[in-house]
Amino acid sequence: MLEKRLIDAYGRPLENLRIAVTRECNYNCIFCHLEGDPIGKPQKIGTMPPELTPEDYSIVAEAASKIGITGFKLTGGEPLVRNDIVDIVHNIRKYAQNSDISMTTNGYLLEFYAKKLRDVGLNRVNISIHSLNRETYYKITGVDGLEKALNGLDEALKYNLKVKINASIVNGLNNNEVIELIKFASDKKVTLQLIELQPINAGSRQFNSLHYPLSLIEDMLIKNGAKVINRKLHNRPIYIMPDGTTVEMVKSYNNPIFCAGCMRVRLLADGTLTPCINWRKPGVSLLPRIRNKPREVAIKNAIDAFIEVNTLRRPYTLYNINTNQYITNNDGARLVLPKKSIKFNY
Ligand SMILES: Nc1nc2c(ncn2[C@@H]2O[C@H](COP(=O)(O)OP(=O)(O)OP(=O)(O)O)[C@@H](O)[C@H]2O)c(=O)[nH]1
Ligand code: SF4
Ligand code: SF4
């Protein structure tokens, strides 16, 4: 059995698994990427029963831990619409005892689940609060749910879950609300994570008019006295405001530096492993390899599936390097990163 982590052909380790536990969601955000699921958009509640069981996820967690995956992120759809979500987290924790287990949620149902999830071993939640203005929140999400999400946030903090606030920045809707969001994060003593729009699934509709470059916000933060540090995952810049509040930037759009620091694969809700959120070819189908098998066989098959999906990993956006971009001097060669990037055509 492998006990070490996998590395892809571009030198990127595989440390993190994003698990979309459902395609269903009680929201309908204008930019929903649904983790790149080819189904395209979130499904209404009750229309698409879950395919993987808590038992299946325990196999996934055991196999992933054996190949050095130490971060598990539960997403969807909205993970909290699964009424067995507590069992799922419990099972993952059982087989990934020392891992970071977190969830990304719209927060609508979090008030009910925060304590239960903490009790079975969830470490963190990222809660989407794209706006503190009820109408703007509604325009972005399609649901009048700001109050519920805020209650969910307070409940998560009450039970000592580590919290990040996710705000996807949409041109003309909330791009002028950043200072207010930072103040709110500061009051709650949590990190604010600003997310740049991506042209994936719903996000590709009206992308040009809704996209707001986060670089404009970064300039503003620097002018306001922020210092910056670098996070290993995706080489994300984290700005530290003068009062100590942290603002993390998720600038994935057309950004080779972001993809260079990618350390994750995805398990979609139908049991398909994919190497990238932009992957559109058939992925690695996990479910038939683990169902109705003795546990040991299922674990071995799941490890093989992880190895297979790892061979498919490549940075979706990368620099187009050519020899003219090497400048030499007497000390050797220096690489100058070109302004233009290219994309893998999946
Ligand atoms: N293109 C791309 N976007 C990503 C990737 N991971 C996260 N994102 C974007 O970042 C947003 C926020 O992600 P979250 O689910 O909150 O998790 P995270 O910030 O990546 O993970 P943690 O910092 O560990 O909590 C997602 O909705 C995506 O838009 C990735 O691997 N590729
Ligand atoms: S809450 Fe998340 S999964 Fe649901 S529609 Fe919004 S972005 Fe999509
Ligand atoms: S390779 Fe780039 S676009 Fe693909 S999942 Fe990783 S960071 Fe996202």
Mean of the pLDDT values across residues 106-116? Answer: 98
Does the beta carbon of 250 lie inside 6 Å of ligand 1? yes
Which pLDDT score, from 0 to 100, does residue 333 have?
A: 64
For the chain, how many structural domains are there in total?
1
Structural domain that includes position 286: 5-345
User: For residues 14 and 265, what is the distance between their CA atoms, to the nearest angstrom?
Assistant: 7
What is the secondary structure of 60-103 as a DSSP string? Answer: HHHHHHHTT--EEEEESS-GGGSTTHHHHHHHHHHH-TTSEEEE
Q: What CA–CA distances, in Å, run from 161 to 15, 109, 113, 269?
A: 22, 15, 11, 25
pLDDT band at 38 (very low <50, low <70, confident <90, very high): very high
Beta-bridge partner residues of 227: 240
Q: Which pair of tokens denotes residue 139?
A: 């325009």
pLDDT band at 229 (very low <50, low <70, confident <90, very high): very high
Average pLDDT, the chain: 94
Distance of CA 341 to the CA centre of its chain: 23
Cα 202 to middle of ligand 2, angstroms: 10
Q: Is 18 annotated as a binding residue?
A: yes
Gyration radius of the chain over CA positions: 20
Q: What is the pLDDT of residues 135-191, one digit of tens each?
A: 999 999 999 999 999 999 999 999 999 999 999 999 999 999 999 999 999 999 999
**Alpha helix segments (H runs only) across 96-141:** 110-119, 134-141
Cα 276 to middle of ligand 3, angstroms: 5
Which pLDDT score, from 0 to 100, does residue 108 have?
A: 98
> Is the backbone peptide bond immediately before 46 cis, with ω within 30 degrees of 0?
no
Q: What CA–CA distances, in Å, run from 313 to 12, 47, 80, 132, 234?
A: 9, 32, 29, 37, 14
Which pLDDT score, from 0 to 100, does residue 247 have?
A: 98
Which pLDDT score, from 0 to 100, does residue 340 have?
A: 77
Q: What is the pLDDT of residues 190-201, one digit of tens each?
A: 999 999 999 999
Q: Which pair of tokens denotes residue 199?
A: 């042209």
CB of 136 closer than 8 Å to CB of 177: yes
Pairing of strands 162-169, 227-230: unpaired
Cα 258 to middle of ligand 1, angstroms: 11
What is the secondary structure of 222-287 as a DSSP string? Answer: HHTT-EEEE-SGGG-EEEE-TTS-EEEEE--TT-HHHHHT--EEEE-TTSEEESSTT--S--EE-H
Does the beta carbon of 252 lie inside 6 Å of ligand 3? yes
Which pLDDT score, from 0 to 100, does residue 1 have?
A: 47
Q: What CA–CA distances, in Å, run from 162 to 27, 37, 105, 138?
A: 23, 28, 13, 26
Q: Is 276 annotated as a binding residue?
A: yes
User: For residues 272 and 232, what is the distance between their CA atoms, to the nearest angstrom?
Assistant: 27
- Kindly report the CATH number assigned to the domain that includes residue 183: 3.20.20.70
Cα 166 to middle of ligand 1, angstroms: 10
pTM: 0.94
Atom of ligand 2 nearest to the CA of 106: 1
Which pLDDT score, from 0 to 100, does residue 65 have?
A: 97
Q: Which residue would you say has higher pLDDT here, 332 or 274?
A: 274
pLDDT band at 3 (very low <50, low <70, confident <90, very high): low
Percentage of the chain surpassing pLDDT 70?
94
Q: Which pair of tokens denotes residue 193?
A: 């994570």
Does the beta carbon of 269 lie inside 6 Å of ligand 2? no
Does residue 14 carry a pLDDT above 70? Answer: yes
Residue nearest to atom 7 of ligand 3 (CA): 259
Cβ neighbourhood burial of 101 (10 Å; 0-12, 13-18, 19+): buried
Look at residues 235, 264, 267 and name the one whose alpha carbon lies nearest to residue 250: 235
Element (H, E) at 161: none
Cβ neighbourhood burial of 112 (10 Å; 0-12, 13-18, 19+): middle
Mean of the pLDDT values across residues 261-275? Answer: 98
Does residue 236 carry a pLDDT above 50? Answer: yes
CB of 237 closer than 8 Å to CB of 252: no
Q: What is the pLDDT of residues 299-327, one digit of tens each?
A: 999 999 999 999 999 999 998 766 666 66
Cα 342 to middle of ligand 3, angstroms: 13
Residue nearest to atom 8 of ligand 2 (CA): 32
Q: What CA–CA distances, in Å, run from 333 to 233, 260, 324, 330, 336?
A: 27, 21, 11, 8, 10
Q: Is 93 annotated as a binding residue?
A: no
Look at residues 323, 316, 324 and name the one whose alpha carbon lies nearest to residue 342: 316
Does the beta carbon of 75 lie inside 6 Å of ligand 1? yes
ipTM over 0.90? The verdict is yes
Which pLDDT score, from 0 to 100, does residue 2 have?
A: 47
Mean of the pLDDT values across residues 31-57? Answer: 95
Which pLDDT score, from 0 to 100, does residue 320 have?
A: 76
User: For residues 52 and 21, what is the distance between their CA atoms, to the nearest angstrom?
Assistant: 8
pLDDT band at 339 (very low <50, low <70, confident <90, very high): confident
Best probe residue, ligand 3, of 16, 195, 252 (max atoms within 8 Å of C-beta): 252
